[in-house]
Structure 1
Amino acid sequence: MNVENHPVVSREEWLAARKQHLADEKAFTRERDRLSAKRRALPWVKVDKDYRFMGPDGEMKLADLFGQHSQLIVYHFMFAKGWEEGCQGCSFLGDHFDGANLHLAHHDIALVAVSHAPFAEFQTFKRRMGWKFDWVSSDGSDFNYDFGVCARAEDAEAGKATYNYEKTDSGEEEMPGLSVFYRANNGEIFHTYSTYARGLDMLVGAYNFLDLTPKGRNEDEIMEWVRHHDRYDGAENSSCCHDG
């Protein structure tokens, strides 16, 4: 859409068009609520495998990631062994986590990022980004493979690799995703949901702001414009609010 040549009408004509669009927006909201209810009604799978992770205080089990909560959201953060930086798209999502966590932690939800790289390898990057959210390593565990964000070499070679519940020819060693777990009162843990690819859009609050503007997301490929937040031109002076 060429915003420079966009139709300009009277306030009355604008209001009529806006009310019609409001009807569409309300229908979309009702449909989203319906889908969310269906998501919550999906069957669960009991998690029996003894997954192990490495955190700041040493080895952890899946149950430890819940803390005191009964619900756990795991963001599968793309950071493989030997990488110096996390994926730019995952970092874009990661920039939203700390603000949400201020509220999620008080609503029975733990939010934890999990990456395939050894724990020590992403600490410098985490400090650079200024993030506070919990971020642990699944190095040496089947966790990333079992929850669909990594493919084993033999599966890729045999054409059995999948991503987003479909076969994939992607040669990527890491892919993004999100998985949700529930811990019952008796300590049993269940996998309730996972989503990948465009299913992660809902995590990106910045996209919701962009979608309200005339130029929208203004991208040819998903997140092709995104940078680590300290790599934008003038990043150190990007705030509109300054002292004095």
Structure 2
Amino acid sequence: MKTPPIVSPQEWEAARQELLVEEKELTRARDALAAKRRRMPWQAVEKEYEFDGPAGRVSLLDLFEGRRQLIVYRAFFEPGVTGWPDHACVGCSMVADHVGHLAHLNARDTTLVFASRAPQADIARVKARMRWTIPWYTITDDFDTDFGVDEWHGTNAFVRDGDSVFRTYFVNARGDEALGSTWSYLDMTALGRQETWEESPEGYPQTEPYAWWHWHDTYDDAEPARK
């Protein structure tokens, strides 16, 4: 392996500062892209979709769990997929391993769920084995075909206005590999991180950064962080 040159601490810091300029540009570009996502048109979800869950049959609206936003990752766990019946697909399993504590997403009025075609009994068994706590539902109809995830994994974002549901964004392929943290999920949603520094359309919910952050086991005791 041909390694880079070995330099003094001063030269190393100079090289880091030079690269930091580009890194800051990337951060600003990422923020600008997220701002454009918040201005994406919404696609009305006209069909009624149903899923099997731990407590029985539920609708797409039910998956929101009363929150305003919903993120659905289509994980491949079903007959014919590598790993069945002991594991979900390797890549989808890595995505599950990277998901942060859901309490932080929930505090921003956002629910994250996974969906597969495996029966609930198999999902429960693999979740227990892998120590995953993500809500995980069984697709029973054309949801995967209609939202671009019938032959490949992908993540769809939705928002609701009362009982009306709208698709707001979709990412797949290498776009999924950046997901997992609270921030990466919020950045793909229609409302974003909902913090005052963000460049969002007028009237979007926003609070001061840091003010809404809590330990994940204390959100129930915290004051509501929404405006």
Query: What TM-score comes out, normalization by structure 1 length?
Result: 0.69
Q: What is the aligned partner in structure 2 of residue 94 from structure 1?
A: 96
Unaligned runs of 5+ in 1: 151-173, 206-244
Q: What is the aligned partner in structure 2 of residue 239 from structure 1?
A: none
Q: What is the aligned partner in structure 1 of residue 35 from structure 2?
A: 37
Letter in 1 for 2:155: L
CA distance in 2 between counterparts of 1:102 and 1:93 reads 18
Per-residue CA deviation, residues 156-212 of structure 1 (Å, 9 max, x unaligned), is xxxxxxxxxxxxxxxxxx42110000011x32100001111011122156xxxxxxx
User: Highest Rg: 1 or 2?
Assistant: 1
Q: What is the aligned partner in structure 1 of residue 129 from structure 2?
A: 128
Letter in 2 for 1:49: K
Unaligned runs of 5+ in 2: 182-227
CA distance in 1 between counterparts of 2:142 and 2:118 reads 13
Computed over aligned residues only, the root mean square deviation of the Cα atoms, in angstroms, reads 1.7
| Alignment: residue pair count | 178
Q: What is the aligned partner in structure 1 of residue 149 from structure 2?
A: 149
Equivalences for residues 45-194 of structure 1 within 5 A: 45-81=43-79, 83-84=84-85, 85-97=87-99, 99-139=100-140, 141-150=141-150, 174-184=151-161, 186-194=162-170
CA distance in 1 between counterparts of 2:79 and 2:43 reads 29
Letter in 1 for 2:66: Q
After the TM superposition, which segments of 4 or more aligned residues of structure 1 sit over 4 Å from their partners?
none
**Aligned-residue identity in percent:** 45
CA distance in 2 between counterparts of 1:48 and 1:8 reads 61
CA distance in 2 between counterparts of 1:96 and 1:202 reads 10
CA distance in 2 between counterparts of 1:81 and 1:123 reads 16
Q: What is the aligned partner in structure 2 of residue 216 from structure 1?
A: none
Residue of 8, 13, 26 corresponding to 1:10: 8
Letter in 1 for 2:5: P
Quick check: 1:147–1:179 contact (8 Å CA) kept in 2? yes
CA distance in 2 between counterparts of 1:122 and 1:68 reads 23
Query: What TM-score comes out, normalization by structure 2 length?
Result: 0.74
Residue of 169, 194, 200 corresponding to 2:176: 200
